[in-house]
A and B are shown apart, each in its own frame.
Chain A
Amino acid sequence: MDIDDWREEIDRIDLELLELLNRRSRCAIEIGYIKHRMGLPIYSPSRETEILENVTRNNRGPLENDAVRRLFERIIDESRRAERLVVESLKENSSDSSDAAEGN
């Protein structure tokens, strides 16, 4: 395989990764809804540690564990943000509807 073949392979993998990351993000959003319903905080440090341990334990390389950790830290940061946006929009909606109720 020449350099163009490898680059095509990378492009294919990127699209798979993108699909997987979005699937993962949808899970985080669902969790955001549940957390909001149950009044749980968005940030759960023990769960984040668990995720990092899970991926580094199962890492078979060639990525080093530190590299895997840094990559997943970024994924976790974005999931946390996705959850926060869900919870915030739900809070805004609920305050809007209570404002409307007061107006009536």
Chain B
Amino acid sequence: MIVVMQQRATEEEISQVIEKLLKLGFDPYRSTGASLSIIAGVGNCFVDVREIEMMAGVRKVIRVSTPYKLASREIHPTDTTFAIGNGEFKIGAGYFSVFAGPAAIESEVELEALCDLVKNFGTGVLRSRATLQLEDGRIVGLGKDSWKLLRKYADRFQLYAASEVNYPEELSQAAEYLDVIEISASHNHEFLRQIGMLGKPTLLVRAPETTIEQTLISAEQILSAGNDRVIICDRAVRTVQGGSTIDIDSILKLKKISHLPLALDASAAANRKDRVAAYAAAALVAGVDVLLIELYSESGTGEAARALAAEDFAVLITQLKGIAKILGRQNICM
């Protein structure tokens, strides 16, 4: 870390910064220039730069190393690839897969119909959220009770089960029923570390309005708990016009900074079915390894406006397989 002092910083203010850096575990290296002083803090220490920025006489603080070492390519330069379940289903470099299913499960009949679809198109992972808030404000889905159904049908159709966890008290049940844990990156670090301790493949969803850096710091919590099977999942960002769109640039940046596999929740990002295919294809070209797609069945009360019906899903999967092939993703896990 480099601390640039203000031009008129006093000797006492400089001393206070040196003392603070020492206290934090850094070795301070001071350099007095013609008009301002610079203090370099050398050492492998975690620090909230705001603590230094707020000190008297400090002009700015420049962080040299990242606060998300385990998630970054600094110590892990090559793409991470890992397996779900018994080892055949791979996520990461060279592979491309789709997690599909109802946005939220409301009935067994609906789930059964959609499992057929997921199995027929070979997407491998049956995914559903615990609950979903519809456009009209209603909240649908069976919550954690849907996990049992997911497990039952995943086993029956030889699929893997993925769903979201929202509360720490649900963790042991989640571990029992799910193969992939979906979690928002906005949860507190303690909860994220507990998720990491489960040791399950984890889909870490970037919350709206959070930066790439904040998302990677959340990933760091899971990784530091000893779980290296983390997928970072991007969603939509707000546009200036008040709408939402996918942030292709953030996908490219994340790929460059981090070795972790990337996903895009295409249905949540598009929020209407006529955009899902374009978003999914664009994200695949940009480099995502996994796409999340919501499916709709007549018997469900989910959103027909957002989730894909069987025919649309069939067309999309065929297109995606074609694109993946052109991109040289030879091992398409679908």
Contacts and interface: CB of A to CB of B under 8 A. Distances in A.
A84 B32 contact: no
B11 A80 contact: no
A73 B27 contact: no
A45 B12 CA distance: 8
Interface string B43-83: 00000000000000000000000000000000000000000
B11 A42 contact: no
Contacts of B11: 45, 49
A2 interface: no
Query: Could you say which interface size class chain B belongs to?
Result: 10 to 19
Interface stretch (B15-23, B106-114, B190-198): B15-23
Contact of A66 (B19, B27, B34): B34
A45 B15 contact: yes
B31 interface: yes
Nearest to B28: A77
Interface in B75-102: none
Contacts of A57: none
Nearest to A49: B11
A74 interface: yes
A45 B13 CA distance: 11
Contacts of B15: 43, 45
Contact of A77 (B12, B19, B27, B34): B27
Given A45-B15, A49-B11, A73 B22 contact: no
B184 to A, nearest CB: 40
B30 interface: yes
A66 B29 CA distance: 16
A90 to B, nearest CB: 16
Contacts of B19: 43, 45
A80 B18 CA distance: 11
A91 interface: no
B34 A73 contact: no
Contacts of B28: 77, 80
Contacts of A69: 32
Interface in B174-233: none
A46 to B, nearest CB: 9
A81 interface: yes
A45 B22 CA distance: 12
Given A43-B18, A77-B28, 18 more contacts: A43-B15, A43-B19, A45-B11, A45-B12, A45-B15, A49-B11, A66-B34, A69-B32, A70-B32, A73-B29, A73-B30, A73-B32, A74-B29, A76-B30, A77-B27, A77-B30, A80-B22, A80-B28
20 contacts: A42-B22, A43-B15, A43-B19, A43-B22, A45-B11, A45-B18, A66-B32, A66-B34, A69-B32, A70-B32, A73-B30, A73-B32, A74-B29, A76-B30, A77-B27, A77-B29, A80-B28, A81-B27, A84-B22, A84-B27
